[in-house]
Amino acid sequence: MVQQLPPDYSNWTKDDLIKRIQSLESCLIPSDTKYNVASEDLTQSNGSVQKSSLSPSAESSTNLPPATSSPSIIASSSTSNESPKAPKQKKKKEMDFSKFTTRKVAIRFAYLGWNYNGLAIQATPDVPTVELEILKAFQRTRIVPSLDTADCDFSRCGRTDKGVSAMRQVISLRVRSVLSVEEQQDPANDSRELDYLRMLNSHLPNDIIAYEICLRPPPGFDARFSCTYRHYRYYFYPRPDLNIDRMQEAAKLFLGKHDFRNFCKVDASKQITNFEREMIQSSIERDVNNHENAYYFNLRGTAFLWHQVRSMMAVLFLVGQGLEAPSIVSDLLDITKMPRRPVYEMAADYPLVLYDCGFPNNMEWVSLKSQESLENLYNSAFNLKHEYWMKSCMAETLRDIVHTDAFGPAISEYRQQKKTRVNTGQGYGKPITNYRPVHKRELLETPEVVNARWREKKKKQT
């Protein structure tokens, strides 16, 4: 009969302990082993091996193995307390887009542009733009292969600048599909197609919302060149010094085809020589859905120049304040009378919104597939409104506190001076000492001169 070893190992020699450990380790099996040797039991302390903490079932009757030294046991015991290395993250498998069919779609979406550097994606990826967010969302969901717009035949309807918002903006692009080309043409298969809107919205920030898609645009459709009109609104508050009737009179003078070179900023890199644009609608309207009694400049045209709407609005503000006559609009549109643009400040960017874009009537727009997705979409829009409403309440409280606590005699006397403030859509406006009429101001260079200088500069660089 094999003699059992006593459970107390305090009198064992170092060699006996090592042999005992070797014997136990040779019997270990994964997870359901009877021997549970804690890692700290194998550590060295002052040249001796510490006592092993064995579970009760570890007290088995085994003979000691032959007396042999095992450097590997001691070496392994010295590192047993080290933290295990974190598992390496598996590299995300690249998708081979050549194995999938694609389809051309048009997407209608809205965004608040105040937090973005415009709509169009920039050359530097660290510049926040609306398109960058959309392409990143599509890339994460593997709908497009990359952030390069050339890889997905990308086109935008109306390019908005920094701070400008849009309500019915449209883009067209080619996306991955799970249907064959033949199946894509049958609306009965739409329920089997990828839920593009849900996938897109799940990765977009809350101030960008995609809400409609056209799965079968007309042949040759392009969001930019298929657009029949662009509809802008510029919102403003009717301050007491604004004469709405005078602004309405001036706004009507924009109707029809005109040369708008005096109502834009010349971009020499585009080498534009034709500044004629047609305005289909131009009026001042009251926003009946706004309890603050807001108004907006309602403008619809076939195409627009860079900063055209903000320049037009700046002149309308001057007319509304009585600083210019409504006829100043006609003068600025007459390039024989004013061939060079006078210097004047543009209206602010954030009250401007691309409200709508016109497209052929045969386009079938559909929204999200499920009722749950529609509910989530509405909740997202409601939460966004609530956030800005709350911020507006706080801003109003701040204004009232300043008015109550800091509005002393000095401020009262200063305001009684009644300095002229040029309205630029930013509240009280820019204070000036003496107003200088537009037709007496410094003139900018003609577009021809600006374009020629740019060409000469490019020629020297090559």
* Residue 54 identity: L
Backbone angles phi and psi of 256, in degrees to 5: 95, -170
Backbone angles phi and psi of 233, in degrees to 5: -130, 135
Q: E-strand spans in 377-458?
A: 420-422, 430-432
Residue 310 has, within 13 A of its CA and on its CB side, a CA count of 23
CA-only gyration radius of the chain, Å: 36
Phi/psi zone of residue 257: left (φ > 0), alpha (ψ -120 to 50 degrees), beta? beta
- Sign of torsion over alpha carbons 305, 346, 171, 233: negative
Q: 311 burial class (0-12, 13-18, 19+ CB within 10 angstroms)?
A: buried
Distance of CA 431 to the CA centre of its chain: 34
Helix (H, G, I), strand (E, B) or coil at 258: strand
Nearest to 227 by CA among 159, 288, 287: 159
Residues with active-site annotation = 161
E strand or H helix at 327, and its extent? none
Helix (H, G, I), strand (E, B) or coil at 443: strand
- Whether the CB-CB separation of 203 and 141 falls below 8 Å is answered with yes
- Whether the CB-CB separation of 229 and 358 falls below 8 Å is answered with yes
Q: Are strands 165-177 and 101-111 parallel, antiparallel or unpaired?
A: antiparallel
8-state DSSP, 347:
P
